[in-house]
Structure 1
Amino acid sequence: MASKQIIGRGPRGLPFCEGVLAGDTFYLSGSIGYDHERGGVVPGGIVPETHQAIQNLRGVLQKVGMDLVHVVKVTVYLRSMDDYGAFNEVYASYFPENPPARETVAVSGLALGASIELSFIAVRS
């Protein structure tokens, strides 16, 4: 059985961690476009929120020596499918070649009124 390592803590003592490293596979918790320096979701809607969420997840990946090239699976939660096109433009800039497997689902709401939440699975190669 692979060893399991908890990485980071959820914000404000919420009952989750930033990710779990099990062997060479890293399961990252979801991230919204939360700006940890300013406190709150970045203003401006889907484009800046997508950039911020990906940067947040990239920071968690880097805690275990990984980066976006290690991502094999992405789950996308959109508050509105009207944002799908704008989201895809931003997303493609981070995964221009050999993009990970992905599903995108519309949801009725996200934490703090966010427009998007992303979660990643990454594998150390």
Structure 2
Amino acid sequence: MKPFTVLVPLLLVPTALAGGAEVPAPTPTPAITYHPSGGTLPFSDAVEVDNTLYLSGKIGTGADGKLVAGGVKAETRQVLDNIEASLKRYGYTRAQLVKCTVMLTDMQDFATMNEVYGAWMVRPYPARSTLGVSGLALGASVEIECIAAK
């Protein structure tokens, strides 16, 4: 017997046993785009999977790369400005945010961060988690990472 002849009946048996169900089409591979951070650190600024953008965490650094002065209120404003700049760079808006994770080095700063965050965020608000952490890069008080979808 030829191998092809032997394989055809074996391939038809599972279909026959399943009531003649067709084999599903393969799932398309998502389009993934990595947006480099532009620095020397080993992470991307953002990764886009089809129409979903995953932003790396942002801290309150200004154009000079240093934390802005003024504590958690000023840092939160700068973090949100940095998020907005990244969203715009990749063709998204804050209205397309679906999930944010906030990290605070002092949970006593929650109300102050939340006041700035709430004034900046667009309704309907994205899902959000807020975590207390023991430290952040550059001694930041707040870091926020987000996911946006088109």
TM-score (norm 2): 0.78
User: What does residue 120 of structure 2 align with?
Assistant: 94
Q: Is 1:5–2:45 an aligned residue pair?
A: no
CA distance in 1, matches of 2:71, 2:103: 14
Q: Is 1:117–2:143 an aligned residue pair?
A: yes
User: What does residue 61 of structure 2 align with?
Assistant: 34
Conservation of the 8 A alpha-carbon contact between 1:33 and 1:52: yes
| C-alpha RMSD of the superposition | 1.1
SS at match of 2:44: coil
Deviation for aligned residue 1:81: 0.4
Conservation of the 8 A alpha-carbon contact between 2:95 and 2:122: no
Q: Which has the higher contact order (CA 8 A, sep 6+)?
A: 1
Conservation of the 8 A alpha-carbon contact between 2:101 and 2:129: yes
Name the stretch that deviates more: 2-11 or 76-85: 2-11
Look at both structures and tell me which one has the larger radius of gyration over its CA atoms: 2
| Aligned residue pairs, count | 122
Identity, in percent, stands at 40
Conservation of the 8 A alpha-carbon contact between 1:10 and 1:16: no
Q: 5+ unaligned residues in a row in structure 2: which ranges?
A: 1-28
Q: Which amino acid in 2 is paired with 1:79?
A: T
Moved beyond 4 Å, runs of 4+: none
Within the candidate set 65, 71, 80, 1:45 is matched to 71
CA distance in 2, matches of 1:25, 1:10: 21
CA distance in 2, matches of 1:74, 1:54: 11
CA distance in 1, matches of 2:149, 2:74: 27
Q: 5+ unaligned residues in a row in structure 1: which ranges?
A: none
